[in-house]
Homo-oligomer: A and B are copies of this chain.
Amino acid sequence: MKLLQVDSIQSVEGKFAKYFASMEKKQEEVGLRQVCGRYLAEDIFADMDAPSFRRSVVDGYAVRAADTFGVSESMPVFLESLGSIQMGQASTLFIGPGQTAYVPTGGMIPEGADAMVMVEHIDRLGENMVSINRPAAPNAHIMNIGDDFHVGEQFFSKGHRVTAKDIGLLAACGKAQIAVYRKPKLLVISTGDELVEPDTKPGPCQIRDINAYAISAYAEALGAEVLDLAIIPDEVDAYREATMKAMEKCDMVILSGGSSAGNKDFTAQVVGSLGKPGVVTHGLAIRPGKPTIIGIFTDREELKTVIGLPGHPLSSIMVFDVVVGTFLRKYYLGNEEDPRAIHAKITENIHAGEGRTSYQLVNLSRGEGVEGHWERGWLAEPIRGKSGAIAQLARAHGYVTIPQGSEGLRAGETVEVTLIE
């Protein structure tokens, strides 16, 4: 038997760094309406103070706070009303002692005033006179200049992935056009004489192509662009030609399928024949995911990567999540954030894999009322299944990582669950 030399995750990361650390990321500009889900290629700063003028946060009357000190229902103060502030217009009014003016929510506080009294605490006494029956503290109901943010304040950094809750602040910062990293372009090729398209009923010994569709969905959810996916037969020339053509059009070609030893050699042979340096990794010290082939090519105008994923659906998705996704985020999208994780109590022992990092799918559920704080915490139940099974993935909420060299996990232990979507 030929022994497969396997690389640790760290070793693979080192290989990627060697070739990609100096690669310049491509950028493009998108509008504010298109920026959700994209990764920023610029740091975002406030271009002005917000608010840029003293605003009222209530409907009411602008006053000098000192005029209201000590007033009450039984002893109101009477103020001369100078009129109303109009929305969107600068006020030329000046509020002197004993004077006031109406200001709607969002309106500018006129000079001289330093507090707002809500209309609920006001009585209008004719055209030019109001009585106030509640004292107002200085700055009451006023947003002062810069109370929201100050010019030059930094909100987001390069590599941040924009979500819906960021859009308001980007709008407030005047970012109608935003520089983002260009989406890495992928092509997914499935190989296997046993594969049929999902719309086909498999004949005896055939199976539907799961991996290409699953991987494409993951890649797009991450922020990549999947140009196309195709099934090609297990035939070396067709395989090589399809991969060669795909490399011209995209940054990364993902080869899916080929889980048998013959196919693995076949994939390594094809990847090795595409250019230099060629195959940099013949296998990974992870479980699942060992039969992964990684090729890097520096002999094109641009750097190219070809990834041969394991044939088992779960393995291929784990490798995509742990290795390929991390790589694409780091080198194409400028994002090195840790994936979102939550803490849970593991319900069963999980053994460590010998000499490799293991990933165990888990299902999350709410714990019952036991053991102090954990009464309302999460329980993580390992999902066991044969490695070819796909149904378990849809039932999984995430996975726990058991690092190489660790002693495994004990039932009841608190673990970190990386969520999958």
Contacts and interface: CB of A to CB of B under 8 A. Distances in A.
A405 to B, nearest CB: 21
A386 to B, nearest CB: 5
A32 B198 contact: yes
A373 B86 CA distance: 56
B393 A202 contact: no
Residue among A163, A194, A200, A387 with most chain B CB within 10 A: A194
A94 interface: no
Contact of A205 (B47, B53, B168, B216): B53
A269 interface: no
Interface residues of A, number: 107
Interface string A157-170: 00000011111111
Given A88-B193, A414-B376, A172 B260 contact: no
A411 to B, nearest CB: 15
Contact of A393 (B47, B86, B120, B169): B169
Contacts of A198: 32, 170-172, 174-176
A209 B199 CA distance: 46
Contact of A164 (B172, B221, B313): B221
Interface string A195-212: 101111110111111110
A5 to B, nearest CB: 15
Given A193-B86, A394-B166, A147 B260 contact: no
Nearest to A153: B391
A29 interface: no
A165 B205 contact: no
A194 B106 contact: yes
Contacts of A317: 165, 168
Given A87-B260, A343-B376, A106 B311 contact: yes
Given A194-B88, A377-B343, A213 B105 contact: no
Interface in A92-120: 104-108, 119-120
Given A172-B210, A394-B165, A205 B143 contact: no
24 contacts: A36-B220, A59-B261, A88-B205, A91-B205, A104-B263, A143-B389, A147-B386, A147-B389, A148-B391, A156-B394, A165-B218, A165-B396, A167-B218, A168-B393, A168-B394, A169-B391, A169-B393, A171-B213, A174-B208, A342-B342, A342-B378, A343-B377, A372-B372, A376-B414
